[in-house]
């Protein structure tokens, strides 16, 4: 799966992802609901 919580060593992006995830966790009313977040990490291979 790779870097599901942002790019390696990118603390700012990782923090934003965790905050957005927790905000959605409070809002979701249906178990199993998937909410796309506006973040993308493309690995440089």
Q: Are 13 and 39 in contact (CB under 8 A)?
A: yes
In the prediction, which pLDDT does 1 show?
A: 55
Residue 45 has pLDDT above 90, yes or no: no
Which residues lie below 8 Å from residue 27, measured CB to CB, with a gap of 6+? none
Q: Per residue in 15-30, pLDDT tens?
A: 999 999 999 999 999 9
Residues 34, 35, 41: CA angle, nearest 5 degrees: 105
Q: Are 23 and 35 in contact (CB under 8 A)?
A: no
Residue 11, H or E segment: helix 11-27
What are the domain boundaries of the chain?
1-45
Q: Which pTM was predicted? A: 0.75
């Amino acid at each position: 799966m790779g870097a599901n919580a942002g790019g390696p060593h990118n603390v700012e992006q990782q923090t934003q992802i965790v905050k957005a995830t927790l905000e959605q966790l409070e809002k979701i009313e249906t178990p199993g609901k998937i909410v796309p977040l506006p973040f993308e990490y493309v690995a440089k291979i």
